[in-house]
Structure formats: structure tokens, C-alpha cells
Amino acid sequence: MGREALFINRVAILATMHQKDQVIAPILDNELGLKVMVPPGFNTDIFGTFTREIKRPGNQIEAARLKAEKALDITGESVAIASEGSFGPHPSLPYITSNREIVIFIDKEQDIEIIGQELSTATNHNHLMVQNVEQALEFADKVGFPEHGLVVMCEELPKDSNNIIKGIITEEKLVEAVNLVLEKSSTGKAYLETDMRAMYNPTRMTNIAKATYNLVKKINSRCPKCSTPGFDITRIVAGLPCELCHMPTALTKTVVYQCQKCGFTQEKLFPNGKEFAEPAQCMYCNP
């Protein structure tokens, strides 16, 4: 079955209220022929907010899956897409902030779920407690304002959304918000943070686009046996031999692809194109 037969002109519901369709829709249309539609009035805030007044249900993938399932429920369509971002220390560079974006694709007709992702150190995710407008403007300068939006609130863990001023994209509004919060606050401080919602954060939008391309790559990876999309790596086997002493290292030697429909598996030896590891990576040659 060709790619066209599967997705050309099929409708995919995108669960977003943060204009993620601006980057996701053209990619899926150009690459797969999928027509992305956003259900009007879909409230994704019930699935958690970056500003923490509403907690996210489950982990990043579970939250995205819930959004996609909800979109399918309310529209009665069979294909849905949802994206979810998270910010935190980079898994292998603990002092550097990273942004992980996932884009989930669910096709009820074929009963498949495919997840594209991007892990990037390109993010302006940041926060600061300030005592005056000057400090706020200095922070704003550092985090790419006004192209990137800001949030101002009284405290780091807001109890309700009435005390959060989001989507600030002009200096005038920023000064107004900071003054308002400083006046109201019992501590004389205001808590500023970057607005991480996609439409207020072009850096994040770029990462969402990259995750979408990763999703397309996985959709186009077909099972050699039954041609179901999403033939993906499910297992990584370490043990790439050292070039000098031939002892196994912690580097990847083999990856295993598996079809989620028929279970067919395929091993790929030396997925990174190298048959040996540098002696510098070897615990015997370079302890």
C-alpha cells in the first residue's frame, strides 16, 4: 500500500488552542497529504498549564494522548494529533535547560499510535523574582521579549488563574503588569516567567516543527511484512566494541525495530554507521 492510499485527503483533528496548526498543518499536508483541522473552542487548558494553576494529568505522552482522544471523541473523526512540551534539565547535560516536544498521531482506523519527538537545548525557558520594573525589563531583554511573551504573577505557585497575567508582548503591558503585581504583593516582589505557550514562543514553535518532521519520518517507516506505518526502534542494545581492545562499550551496537500491528521485528547492526567505538569511550582503555 502506498503512502497516498493511506493519508491523502484524510482529515486529522489537531487538539490545540495555541495555534500549533501554523507549523504542524503545512508539514503534514506537504509530506503526507493529511488535512489538519482544529476543532473550534477546544480547551486544552483542562489538560494542564505551563503556569501550573492546572496540573498536567500523567506524563507528557499521557497528556498528549488524552488531548488526541478527546479531539476524536468530540469530532467523531478517526485521525487525531496532539502535541505536548516539557522543559527541564537536559538528560545528559544537567546544567543546561532543554525543551522536549512530542507530537502524537493516533489513527483509530488502523489502530496505531506514533510519536514524533525533538529534544532541544534551544529554549528561552526562564524565570525571575523581581522587586522593580528595571529588573523586569532587564529579564525581558535576556529572554527574547517581545517576540517571546512573558507571564507576571505574585508568586511562584499560583493558586488560581486570576492572579496570573499571561501573554504579555509589549513593554507597556509588561510595566503595567509588574507595577500592578508589586502593588498587590505582600512581599513587594513580582514573579516573572517566560510564556511557554506555542503562539507566544517562536523558539518552541520551531521545536514543534522539528518534532513533526520526526513524526513524518516515523509514519513513513513501514513494516516490511505488513506495511503498517510506524515501524520504529523499540529496543537499543549496547556493546559496540572498542577499536583497540574489542571489549564491549556502553555505546549502541544494535537497534531493534518492531511493528506495533503484527509484531514483526528487525535488527539493525551498527545503526550509527560505526563498527567500533573510540578507545576514549572504552572503560578498559580509558578508565
250 versus 269: smaller Cβ distance to Zn ion:
250
Select from 225, 241, 248, 281 the one that contacts Zn ion (CB under 5 A): 225
Select from 226, 236, 237, 250 the one that contacts Zn ion (CB under 5 A): 226
132 versus 265: smaller Cβ distance to Zn ion:
265
The minimum distance between CB 213 and Zn ion, in angstroms, equals 23
The minimum distance between CB 107 and Zn ion, in angstroms, equals 14
Is residue 213 a contact residue for Zn ion (CB under 5 A)? no
Select from 108, 147, 184, 284 the one that contacts Zn ion (CB under 5 A): 284
- Contact in structure between 251 and 286 (CB atoms under 8 Å): no
Encoded one letter per residue, x for contact with Zn ion by CB under 5 A and - for no contact, window 168-207 reads ----------------------------------------
Q: Give residue 28's Cα distance to chain centre.
A: 16
- Contact in structure between 32 and 58 (CB atoms under 8 Å): no
Select from 28, 151, 223, 240 the one that contacts Zn ion (CB under 5 A): 223
Report the phi/psi class of residue 44: left, alpha or beta, with left for phi > 0 and alpha for psi in -120 to 50.
alpha
Q: Cell digits for 21?
A: 496548526
Q: How many beta carbons lie within 10 A of that of residue 42, not counting itself?
A: 17
Distance separating alpha carbons of residues 244 and 242, to the nearest angstrom: 5
Q: Which residues between 243 and 282 bind Zn ion (CB under 5 A)?
A: 244-245, 259, 261-262, 264, 282
The minimum distance between CB 277 and Zn ion, in angstroms, equals 8
159 versus 268: smaller Cβ distance to Zn ion:
268
48 versus 229: smaller Cβ distance to Zn ion:
229
270 versus 284: smaller Cβ distance to Zn ion:
284
Where do runs of H (alpha helix) occur along the chain?
3-7, 21-32, 60-75, 133-142, 171-184, 202-219
For residue 94, is the peptide bond before it cis, meaning its omega torsion is within 30 degrees of 0?
Answer: no
Q: Cell digits for 188?
A: 513587594
Select from 194, 242, 255, 257 the one that contacts Zn ion (CB under 5 A): 242
- Contact in structure between 4 and 31 (CB atoms under 8 Å): no
Number of residues located near Zn ion, criterion CB under 5 A: 14
- Contact in structure between 115 and 104 (CB atoms under 8 Å): yes
Query: Which residues bind to Zn ion, rule: CB under 5 A?
Result: 223, 225-226, 228, 242, 244-245, 259, 261-262, 264, 282, 284-285
